[in-house]
Amino acid sequence: MSDGSAPVVSSSQVPGSQVPERNLIWRVLHVPFRWFCRWWLHVEAEGLEHIDNTRGGLLLLNHQSYLDPLLAAVLMRRPVAYLARDSLFRVPLLGALLRRTHVIPISREAVRSGSIREAIQRLEEGHLVGIFPEGTRSSGTEVRTFRPGFLAMVRRTELPVYPVAIAGADRVLPRGAWLVRPGRIRIVYGTPLSQSELLDPTHGADDRALAEFARSKVAECHTRAQHLLTSSS
């Protein structure tokens, strides 16, 4: 799936021994946030068994709230290296925290160059890398059109590509809110997209078709997460 401008990351390049250790800051922050998610947000997940914890992988996530990066990783056994706006790294304290918790800065100018190379390197090192292809927070009722920038990563990896969806985050921290409200969150981790699906000639070279295919898989997870959320009310 390579176009020759960056290395293709294959599963054989990332043996289990390369899976990164959880750093001290991640360990310290993970414990209280996991407790907070359990008792205040009642976070429950389905499909965690789909995540291969012996190698790297790419997570494609819907985006409802600023809490999403934390929510999607809180029940996992290891951290996720997210791509985040480089402007956030200039915020005092927050920038230092992001640098120490595996976050990758991304800018519009570098979206197809430096940031992508850094993300590919993280995949090679055995990290899970997370990206929000919608590009901005959605209303929570649907998964919006995916921006095509993420395809540069999808086409350069033979590692698992996981569709992931969160439901309920827009209710506990809606746009404009500063305080996290009590509520319920459901997360669904889908089965990884196979190489045969990603290389399907019906969309393989068409950015819009491939982006829509990936969006539809995340939307399926979102429908399931919404169902779990409704049935638990």
pLDDT 10s digits, 48-70: 999 998 899 999 999 998 889 88
pLDDT 10s digits, 164-220: 999 999 999 888 788 999 999 999 999 999 877 877 777 656 888 899 999 999 999
Q: What is the pLDDT of residue 13?
A: 42
pLDDT 10s digits, 92-118: 766 667 766 677 877 655 555 677 888
> Domains in the chain, please, with CATH?
11-231 (3.40.1130.10)
The arithmetic mean of pLDDT across residues 75-92, rounded, is: 77
Q: What is the pLDDT of residue 2?
A: 43
Percent of the chain at pLDDT > 90 equals 34
pLDDT 10s digits, 119-134: 888 888 888 999 999 8
Tell whether the torsion through CA atoms of 176, 179, 180 and 183 is positive or negative. Answer: negative
